Structures are given as C-alpha cells and as structure tokens.
Amino acid sequence: MTARPAPASAPGLTVAATARRIGVAPGTLRTWDRRYGIGPGAHAPGRHRRYSPEDVARLELMHRALVRGVSPADAARYALETPLPATGSPDPATPSGNGRARVGGRVLRLPGAGQRARGLGRAALALDAETVADLLVESVDEDGVEVTWDEVVRPVLAAIGERWEHAGTGVEIEHLVSECVGGVFGALLRRRARPVGARDTRPVLLAAMPGEQHALPVLALAAALGERGVPHRYLGADLPADALAAAARRTAPVAVVLWSQAADTADPDVLHALPATRPRYRTFVAGPGWDGVETPQRSVRLVTLRGALATIGETVLV
C-alpha cells in the first residue's frame, strides 16, 4: 500500500490507540499490515504512521469478518475492497459464498465485561491464538495476573461454557483459550517461581487433585503468587496422591493448595493421608468440586483468587 501524505489537521490514531479501539493487540495490527497490506495509509515524514478514520473502518470490517469465521486473507481482501460510506463507517455486510469466505456463528455473551475481555472473546471465536496470547501478555504486563484472571480470562471462559451448555458447541474455543492461558501463565512461572534470595524459604505447594485435569485456576494462583514474590512449586494437573505426599516431605512446605473442579475428584481421603512434617504446613482446598464435601478440620477453603492471595500471604508471613 502506497503511503499518502497526512493532513496536518488529521493526525490519526497510534497503533496502540487503534488496537484498543478494535479490541486486538498492537502486534496483531502490525501483522495484518505486514501480511495482508491492511494498515495505516497516512504517513508524515519523520513521524510514526497513524491510522485514519478510513483505516480504522477497514480494520473493523476485517475484524468483524474474522469473528464470523472468515480466513485472515479473505477478511483482509474483503475489508480493502468494500466501499465505505462517506461517514467512514463500514458497510454492515460480511463476505459469504461464491468463492468468498463463509461466515457464521455468534458473538460471545459478555455483559458488563471490559474492552480487553471483549477483544479476547472475539479473538477466541476467530480461533486467533496469536491475538489471544498477545492480549493476555498485554493484560498481565499492564494490570497483573489477578486482574487478568478475574476480569479477562474468567468472563470469557464462562461465556464459552454458557455457549456449550446452550448450543453444544465451542469445545475447540475453550481448548484454544485454555492452551493460550496455560502458555502465558506457565511462562510467568518459569521466570518467577523462585525469587532472588528465596532458596531457603519454605514454598507453597499447588496442585490439582488426582484425576483432576482442569488446573487453570490453580495455575493462575501460582502465577499470581510468583508475581508477589511468594516461593511456590506448581505441580500441575492430576497429581497422584503418593507424588503429593513425596513432594510435601521433600520440600517441607509452608502451605499445600489442592484444586478440584469436579465433585468426583474432591477426595477428603487424600487430605487425611497427607504426611506430617516439621515444621507443620497449612492445607487449603479450592474449586467447586469441594462444595458440600466434609474436609479435615485443619483444611481451609479458598473461594476467590484475591481471597486466596490474601490468606496465603498471611500464612507465609507467620
């Protein structure tokens, strides 16, 4: 695309501002520009390129088509070729049939969710893993793990779950988002699991119960603890009871956190079988699987990520 001189009276939007407007990561806009030629058309010598209202309108067309299942190449071609009204607003039609990409599907229902969560939902529906990961990294960098989990990830996962419950579709969306969340939070663990000077500090052990495959919430807790400089060991999903016991003996933890998503994995016998160590550690259970389950008196229930961080923080400081 040939750059056009930018009128001094219309400087346009920066990449970051445009990304927020569209609901994608800045890196995604750069990728669209590099791969498909849909980017800022105006450029003043010696200045960063800016997005004009027309550029933004075409990006909105492309993003709308992507959310409806159009391939990126076809969505870009459609956005570049569609005539824009004089107002700069895109034609509400989307490409379909006769060699043009097919469309379909509905948006995720995210009432009250913030702009970043809505952007994540759109990227998830488009199965755009790159944008999903970029938005997660951007959110963690700007707002931290706790906000990213509570205000971005959880609303989207809940909406995907609602979609599956009512329509029986969306498993592939949930898998993609879960893999991206696991990748981003897992990278945080590798960077922050052992803060400087924490070699002799007793860690917090975190794991999902034996047979429990859904471990994203406890992974989020581990990443948030690492963000706060709390030493921990995240042992993943479906940890066998004997492996949990061995880890407790080996590390002499300050606390053990066990996650259960489903009722059939919330086994109080695993808690009773935990080994005694000196000094002692506190035991916490978390997740909806523990609802209505009678646990040992020494076990404490964690309900929210914020509450878990506060409670565990107090335990570590004791």
Q: pLDDT exceeding 70 applies to what percent of the chain? A: 83
State the Cα–Cα distance between residues 122 and 108, nearest whole angstrom.
Answer: 8
Classify 9-97 by CATH class. mainly alpha
- Report d(CA 215, CA 293) in Å as an integer: 19
| Extents of the domains making up the chain | 9-97, 112-192, 200-317
Say what the pLDDT of residue 156 is: 95
Check residue 60 and give its pLDDT. 85
Contact 56, 22 (CB under 8 A): yes
Q: What is the pLDDT of residue 8?
A: 43
> What pLDDT, in 10s, does the model give residues 237-272?
999 999 999 999 999 999 999 999 999 999 999 999
Residue 57's pLDDT band, with cuts at 50, 70 and 90, is confident
Mean pLDDT of the chain: 83
| Assessment of whether the complete model's pTM goes beyond 0.75 | no
**DSSP at 9:** T
Quick one: pLDDT band at residue 65, thresholds 50, 70, 90?
Answer: confident
Q: Which two tokens stand for residue 254?
A: 């300050």
* Structure tokens belonging to residue 8: 């001094």
Q: Which CATH number among 2.40.10.10, 3.40.50.720, 1.10.3720.10, 1.10.1240.10 corresponds to the domain 112-192?
A: 1.10.1240.10
* CATH 3.40.190.10 correct for 200-317: no
Quick one: pLDDT at residue 317?
72
Angle of CA points 290, 121, 53, to nearest 5°: 155
